[in-house]
Amino acid sequence: MAHAVCAHWGIEESLHWVLDVTFREDDPRIRRDHAPASFNPLRRYALNLIKRQPTLRGVKQKRFKAALDDNFRAQVLFGEP
């Protein structure tokens, strides 16, 4: 049982670490009303889309490249080769 609990928290901690580092989730920029709760699923969805890209780049580099390159962004969003 302890092994299952540790494995679960390891996955959970790695997800939160990636969100904190790449999306700077802990920076208090979005504070009004329900915006923080609304942006959380969007960040997770974006992270899943970026992780699906089969390139050798890291998540942070893929995110930066998607912000600059329209073709790469289309590949990330629509799964185009």
Q: Write out pLDDT tens, residues 6-63.
A: 666 666 666 776 777 777 776 667 778 887 788 888 888 888 888 888 887 788 888 8
pTM listed for this prediction = 0.66
Any idea which residue has 């700077």 for tokens?
Answer: 24
pLDDT of residue 6: 66
pLDDT of residue 71: 92
pLDDT of residue 68: 94
pLDDT of residue 41: 85
21: how many CB neighbours lie within 10 A of its CB? 13
Task: Please give the Cα distance from 54 to 11 (Å, whole number).
Answer: 21
Number of folded domains that form the chain: 1
22: how many CB neighbours lie within 10 A of its CB? 19
Q: Tell me which residue of 18, 14, 39, 17 sits closest to 28, measured CA to CA.
A: 39
Q: Which domain holds residue 63?
A: 2-78
